[in-house]
Each structure stands twice: as C-alpha cells, then as structure tokens.
Amino acid sequence: MPKKRWIAFALLGAVFAGLLVYGIATGDALYVLKNAQNFCFT
Amino acid sequence: MAALVLFNGYYWAPQGKYLCLPVLNCYSCPIGTVACPIGSLTTFAILRRMPYYIIGFLALLALALGRGFCGWACPFGFLQDLLYRIRSPKWRLPRAADAVKYAMLVVLVIGLPLALGGGKEKGAADRIAQEGTRAYDYCALVCPAGTLETTVPSLATKPDLRAQASWRTWSKMGLLVLILGLMVVSRRGFCRALCPLGALMALSSRVTLFQLRTDPEKCTHCDRCIAVCPTHSRRLPARPGELEASSECVMCLDCLRTCPEAGALSAHLGGRTIALSGGQPSA
C-alpha cells in the first residue's frame, strides 16, 4: 500500500478513534446499551 | 452460521448490547447479543443528539473491513444465501435498485426521525423512556429483521398479542413475506437494494484496508468471477493496479475461489496479501 494511503488511513483512524472515545466519555455507549435494553422484549 | 450463534447468544446477550456491530440482527429479540446500529442511530436522531460513539465505532470497523461484515458476519446475509438455494426462477435486480438503500438510510433512519422526533426540547427523551421510539422509528416499520426475530416469535407464543395485532403488525408481516420472496429469487437482493446498514458500510469501500485486486497479466477474461458475484458488482479494472472498490461488493471472496488462474485475483488486508486465486497460498 502506498505511503500516502497509509497516512490518510492513519489520520482517518485517529479521527474516528477520537469520536469513539469522546462518545464513550459523554455517555453515548451507555445510552446505546440502555436503549437496546429498553427495546428488548422479554 | 457461527455469526448467527454469536449474535444470538441468550447467556451473553445483556453484556454485548453496547456494541453497535454492523450486522442486521434485531436487538428487540431477547437473545440478540449486539445493539442494532440502525435502531441506535434512529434513537439519537430522534433526540437530536450527535452519535459520536456509533459513528466512531462503525467507521473504525468500516475502515478495517469495509463491507466484509455483510459478506462474513451478517445473520441476514446468511439467511439470504440459504433462501437463494431454493429452486425457483432467478431474477437480477436492475442497477438502479442499488440506490434505494441510500434513500432508506437518509429518509427513514436519519431524516424523518430527526425532523419529527422533536429532540430534547420537546421531551423526546421522556417519550422514549415511556413509550419507546415506536412513534418515530420509521425504519422499524419496514425492517424484516425486526419482524422475523421479534414480531413473529411474539405473535407465535403470546395469544394476547395476536389478539391485539394492528394493521401495522400485519403490514410488517406482509412486507417480510415480500422481502423473503425477494431473497429467494434475487441473490443478496436485500443487501443490494434495501439494507440501510449496507448503505452506511458501502461508503467505506474506497478507503477500507480490505481490498480485492486483479492482475491483468494473469487474468484470461473468462468472466467466471463476474458470473459468480452475489451482488453482481464484480467488474474488471480498466487499468493495471486499479482498486476494485465497488460499493456493492460484500467481500465474500466467491470470485477468488472461482477464479482458475493462479494469482490473477488477490485479497489484501492493509497491503498484505491474505488470499490468492487458483489455490495458491498467500504470500
């Protein structure tokens, strides 16, 4: 894979990893879990 | 098959539901292991809350494997592969049908819930807590995974629910029958035309680490790879070394297994060759 492509990939990966961490810090992951549990028919 | 068991494990179901894996598996089903990314995105749209976690999670997976999840891990993809084996007249969807799933994603999953959900100011969070997102979850009205994994078992096991079933329930059942019919006559027809999750993952096809390549010097243009492609997306590259990044390719690697020419087709993960056509071991 060309070096430019690796750099672009690393930058995109860093941005998305940042979004993921920010989302976890702001409680998104817990909200996703709560929402999924609310939806669950038992 | 393994994915079907993994994503529907009763005993580990409660632990995995904070993961929005890009597979179509209803999270309303008590044995569903992971959260539905489409349902979760809709909820965030209703609340008018930016889904940082879902975008980050899905985008990282898409960067790594692209639509490989559609081809290798989606239980609904597995169901389609099974149903297509039923003997019946087969039908190829027109190319224009590919666009429908993008409309589903933009209109049903994001647009309408965002526009009509009301957000925090209008008490959307309280309404969701009290009555769920049903009123604004337009995708759930047409989702065959939800109907198959939740509505059908609920109606089958609970007579009181059967008595309360509305026109909405029966229209969902009718739609499910139509979509199952589509799966019998058109290979991966649902993936190609209707799956909003496929539309979301298709956006990554040009940047993902998981890529297919053709060596034009070894390719004999027998077109077997084109004939075997489940999504009818396979095409030979116009220039040597050109990426074959079709947004409809689910990376099932059927083309690679069918190709008789040694090394004419290759699958790469992050620049590393992981599989070669013609039964050659990877480098």
SS3 B266: strand
Q: What is the mean pLDDT of residues B132-160?
A: 81
Residues B244 and B177 in one domain: no
Residue B90 falls inside a structural domain: yes
Determine which of B52, B128, B209, B211 to mutate to test the interface with A (most A C-beta atoms within 10 Å).
B52
* Maximum distance among all Cα pairs of chain A, rounded to whole angstroms: 51
Q: Are B62 and A26 in contact (CB under 8 A)?
A: no
DSSP state of B50: -
Residues B260 and B215 in one domain: yes
Alpha helices (runs of H) in B132-214, residue ranges in sequence order? 138-142, 144-146, 152-157, 159-164, 167-185, 189-193, 196-202
Higher pLDDT among residues B174 and B271, named by residue:
B174
Residue B151 falls inside a structural domain: yes
With an 8 Å Cβ cutoff, are A41 and B20 in contact?
A: no
**pLDDT at res. B182:** 94
Average pLDDT of chain B to the nearest whole number? 82
Q: Return the closest-CA partner of residue B152 out of B167, B162, B164.
A: B162
Residue B18: phi, psi to the nearest 5? -95, -5
Residue B281 falls inside a structural domain: no
SS3 B114: helix
**pLDDT at res. A14:** 95
Residues B190 and B221 in one domain: no
With an 8 Å Cβ cutoff, are A13 and B60 in contact?
A: yes
pLDDT digits (tens, 9 = 90+) for B81-116: 999 999 999 988 888 898 999 999 999 989 988 888
Higher pLDDT among residues B175 and B119, named by residue:
B175
**pLDDT at res. B270:** 82
**pLDDT at res. B14:** 61
Residues B193 and B236 in one domain: no
pLDDT at B181 over 90: yes
Residues spanned by the domain of B119: 2-202
Residue B282 falls inside a structural domain: no
- If 0-12 CB within 10 Å is exposed, 13-18 middle and 19+ buried, where does residue A17 land? middle
**pLDDT at res. B113:** 86
Residue after which a domain boundary falls, among B169, B202, B235:
B202
Residue B77 falls inside a structural domain: yes
Instruction: Residue B27: list chain A partners with CB under 8 A.
Output: 36, 39-40
Number of structural domains chain A divides into: 1
Rounded to the nearest angstrom, the minimum Cα separation between B265 and chain A is 16
pLDDT at B45 over 70: yes
Distance of alpha carbon B15 from alpha carbon B181, whole angstroms: 34
Residue B137 falls inside a structural domain: yes
Rounded to the nearest angstrom, the minimum Cα separation between B196 and chain A is 19
With an 8 Å Cβ cutoff, are A12 and B207 in contact?
A: yes
Residues B31 and B57 in one domain: yes
Rounded to the nearest angstrom, the minimum Cα separation between A3 and chain B is 11
List the single residue in A8, A32, A40 with the smallest CB-CB distance to B20.
Answer: A32
Instruction: Residue A36: list chain B partners with CB under 8 A.
Output: 17-18, 27, 32, 35-36, 39-40
Residues B198 and B169 in one domain: yes
The CATH number assigned to the domain holding B255 equals: 3.30.70.20
Q: Return the closest-CA partner of residue B41 out of B142, B89, B130, B112.
A: B112
Q: What is the mean pLDDT of residues B181-191?
A: 92
In this prediction, residue B177 has a pLDDT band, given cuts at 50, 70 and 90, of very high
Cross-strand partners of B214? B265
Residue B73: phi, psi to the nearest 5? -125, -15
Q: Are B46 and B118 in contact (CB under 8 A)?
A: yes
Higher pLDDT among residues B125 and B112, named by residue:
B112
Residues B13 and B118 in one domain: yes
pLDDT digits (tens, 9 = 90+) for B51-63: 999 999 999 999 9
Instruction: Residue B60: list chain A partners with CB under 8 A.
Output: 13, 16-17, 20
> Above pLDDT 90, what percent of chain B?
18
Q: Return the closest-CA partner of residue A35 out of B53, B33, B44, B196.
A: B44
Determine which of B27, B42, B53 to mutate to test the interface with A (most A C-beta atoms within 10 Å).
B53
Residue B283 falls inside a structural domain: no
Q: What is the mean pLDDT of residues B194-216?
A: 87
Residue B236 falls inside a structural domain: yes
Residue after which a domain boundary falls, among B202, B228, B262:
B202
Residues spanned by the domain of A25: 3-39
Lowest average pLDDT, out of B72-81, B191-200, B239-248, B265-274, goes to B239-248
**pLDDT at res. B237:** 63
Nearest CA in chain A to B14: A37
ipTM of this complex prediction, to 2 decimal places = 0.88
Residue after which a domain boundary falls, among B202, B218, B246:
B202
Q: Return the closest-CA partner of residue B184 out of B112, B87, B271.
A: B87
pLDDT digits (tens, 9 = 90+) for A7-24: 888 899 999 999 999 999
pLDDT digits (tens, 9 = 90+) for B222-267: 888 888 888 887 776 666 655 566 788 888 889 899 999 888 888 9
Number of structural domains chain B divides into: 2
The pTM is what?
A: 0.83
Residues B89 and B217 in one domain: no
Residues B97 and B80 in one domain: yes
**pLDDT at res. B283:** 45
With an 8 Å Cβ cutoff, are A23 and B55 in contact?
A: yes
